[in-house]
A and B are shown apart, each in its own frame.
Chain A
Amino acid sequence: MQSWWLILAAAPLLLGVEPPPVFTRDAEGVGVTGIPVPRAGWETLLRVSVGSRENPPLLGNVEKTTTGLRFRPRFPVAEELDLVVVLAGKQEYRLRGTRSVVLPTTRVAAIYPSAKSVPANLLKFYLHFDAPMARGEAWRHLRLLDERGEAVDLPFLEIDQELWDPEMKRLTLLFDPGRIKRGVLPREQGGTALEEGKRYTLLVDAGWKDSQGRPLAAGFRHEFRAGPEERRGLSVSQWSATVSGSELRIRFDRPLDRALALRLITVDAEGEAHLEDEQQTWVFVAKEARPEYRVTVDHRLEDLAGNRPGRPFDVDVFDRITKVPVAETTVLTLRAR
């Protein structure tokens, strides 16, 4: 909570014969005492603005108090801002803000996929932070470096909205789909962002601000290698599953998108799921062991390159073999041995 601020008898810029008014500034706004308050028209006696009287007035209301007037802002005013109070359209008083030092503590907590080798047509990274971050900062603080240490030009889909989770602790970093999808101009002109066989470093600089406006406690780097492109639809039939007491394990045919695997593979039992083995094994621990479990795989599931069950990321329309009828889900019945 904001404590009461020390603001007393701000120096009037115009000297009058009356004793100077006394101002208080706190989380509730600006109070003024020691001024004559007329019966009518007091609502317009006090004008408060940030920094200079040239600025539009702060949104808020003036109230009459037992000892004077109070300006109640519509939103809490940032502590570091100077406020300029104009009384009766004439006298101007400056209430100085206070700057407090805030130490950075927020860090990058994890990145997915975590593997050191990913398909060259990788569709996204998830960048996890240990505290809420600020919107509108991402594209200035992220770089993808090639093996010579040079920045790859525009590797990501830089959208203003920035794809955060509701808590703003996880950012989805989408590689430019135009450089992944075959047969479109960006890929033909600029090539793919990642080239098979090459090494890359994703660099997060410490200047990226969190939701408190503080920079990160440290930068972050993630080194990885681009492997062969993955263009096949996911094949649930190639997964292998084991049940051992209350633990279910499914080994996928390749690593999957972590967020989607945790959200879209569901079990008809209570318990918790997590991924192991660099997102290639799904593990579910049931609260109570059962002889049989039904696991539902929603076909919105994607691998690291956006391929779904029965539906690759991009379909070669001349190759009818790839056009498999698309079901919405697959249900796997797993039994304990």
Chain B
Amino acid sequence: MRMFRLGLPLFCAALALAGTVELKSAGQLAFGPKGVLFVGDSAAAKVYAIETGDTSVAAAKPFEVKAINEKVAAMLGATPDQILIADAVVNPISKNVYLSVARGKGPGATALLLKVDASGKIAELPVAKLKASEVSLVDAPSEDAKDRRGQSLRTESITDLAFVDGKVFVAGLSNEEFSSSLRSIPYPFNAAAKAASIEIFHGAHGRFETNAPVRTFVPFTIDNQPHILAAYTCTPLVKIPVSELKPGNKVKGATIAELGNRNRPLDMIVYNKDGQQYILMANSSRGVMKLPTAKIESYPSITAQTEKQGVPYETIATLKGVQQLDKLDDKHALMLLEDSGTLDLRAVPLP
């Protein structure tokens, strides 16, 4: 059986206070309610919930910022090769774009968040002045047993983050053990939350099962029920009902698609077009895939080793170099596109 543990975090800050955010790293981003930006800080093993105050409703406008990595580098006094953009998300209320950025690439890199508006203006988000709350992902001190020099070399990278049905879900990948970690954190972060784990079994998936980590996932509604659609490092796409992701539960998820050798999802969004719902999936340097979700709802779980195809998909040949993907509005996706080292931020019509 496939199984992964879903742990609840130990330490939570109950109140949103100003001046509490000290980013050690800034990775995955996700917007929650009322302009709250969730920021995954892998180096600090924390998730921050930052109240951006960016809550003025606006319609999406044409969006194109060319060579955004060079512009950001210029603002930060760095050469473009010393800038990394880890994630780009759209504030669904204001339609402004938020970037998580590292200035420098070594262990001493500085993390910051930038806001980009449709006119192309880039500004630093003054995180130290904004109200924020945080949650630590370190389950317990014993988790971090030290090596013989008294240092732990273990890190856990936050590979994805999403706000679904009142909870923040956080997927992680360790640099040592090959085990899965998916955490569920109720928001607002609650001081009463305790460490707990859920075992999730993915039965009905061929003959061989392993406890592979989740790499990326997307919130998704099936039959009016919130689900997460999770892509594993070993490529199966699995649907899991959110209602079952509770501490102490044993949960069954179902494998509904296999993505094949060259399809390794980086980022996914769900959208509607012509009365149909689709998933758009950016893959690591190998193109963008489009899957109709109607098929997911009705598609039987893959139960035998001989069934490999699952949900059919098409590859969108015109979209190349997509590094990040988010939904801008009903008709457009916001993409961070790479072309020979230069990154453009652009609104692209949904295919």
Residue B18 CB within 8 A of the other chain = no
The DSSP consensus for interface residues of chain A is loop
Q: Bound state CA distance, A318 and B304, in angstroms?
A: 11
A158 touches B284 (CB 8 A): yes
Cβ contacts A to B, 15 pairs, < 8 Å? A56-B74, A76-B77, A78-B79, A134-B106, A135-B109, A136-B105, A177-B234, A181-B234, A182-B207, A184-B234, A209-B81, A213-B81, A262-B148, A300-B177, A316-B207
Residues of B that sit less than 8 Å from A by CB:
1, 27, 42-43, 70-71, 73-79, 81-82, 84, 86, 102-110, 121-122, 124, 145-148, 151-155, 157-159, 173-179, 203, 206-210, 212, 215, 232-236, 258-262, 264, 266, 284-285, 305, 308, 323
Q: Bound state CA distance, A272 and B110, in angstroms?
A: 35
- Among A76, A185, A212, which residue has the most Cβ atoms of chain B within 10 A? A185
Query: What's the least CB distance linking B112 to chain A, in Å?
Result: 9
Residue A49 CB within 8 A of the other chain = yes
A78 touches B266 (CB 8 A): no
B102 touches A135 (CB 8 A): yes
Q: Which residues of B contact A195 (CB under 8 A)?
A: none
Known: A161-B27, A166-B155. A274 touches B148 (CB 8 A): yes
Known: A74-B76, A302-B177, A313-B210. A184 touches B258 (CB 8 A): yes
Q: Which residues of A contact B107 (CB under 8 A)?
A: 132, 166-168, 211
Q: Which size bracket describes the interface of A in this complex?
A: 35 or more
Report A61-95 CB contacts with B as 1/0, cut-off 8 Å. Answer: 00000000000011111101100000000000000
Within 8 A of B (CB), among A174-209: 174, 176-186, 188-190, 209
Q: Which residues of A contact B284 (CB under 8 A)?
A: 158-160
B261 touches A179 (CB 8 A): yes
- Among B102, B107, B262, which residue has the most Cβ atoms of chain A within 10 A? B107
With beta carbons under 8 angstroms apart, the residue of B146, B148, B173, B209 that contacts A317 is B209
Residues of A that sit less than 8 Å from B by CB:
49-51, 55-59, 73-78, 80-81, 123-124, 132-137, 154, 157-161, 163-168, 170, 172, 174, 176-186, 188-190, 209-213, 257, 259-260, 262-264, 266, 272-274, 298, 300, 302, 306, 313-318
B75 touches A163 (CB 8 A): no
| 7 closest A-B pairs by CB | A211-B106, A77-B77, A134-B105, A190-B261, A163-B175, A185-B258, A183-B206
Q: Which residues of A contact B266 (CB under 8 A)?
A: 160
A263 touches B208 (CB 8 A): no
Known: A58-B77, A161-B173. A75 touches B157 (CB 8 A): no
Q: Bound state CA distance, A263 and B151, in angstroms?
A: 10
Closest-by-CB residue of A relative to B42 is A161
Known: A135-B102, A257-B176. A164 touches B260 (CB 8 A): no
B155 touches A185 (CB 8 A): no
Q: Which residues of A contact B42 (CB under 8 A)?
A: 161
Q: Bound state CA distance, A165 and B175, in angstroms?
A: 7
Q: Which residues of A contact B155 (CB under 8 A)?
A: 163-166
Q: Which residues of A contact B176 (CB under 8 A)?
A: 172, 257, 259-260, 263
Q: Which residues of B contact A58 (CB under 8 A)?
A: 74-77
Query: What's the least CB distance linking A128 to chain B, in Å?
Result: 10
A189 touches B260 (CB 8 A): yes
Q: Which residues of A contact B234 (CB under 8 A)?
A: 176-178, 180-181, 184, 186
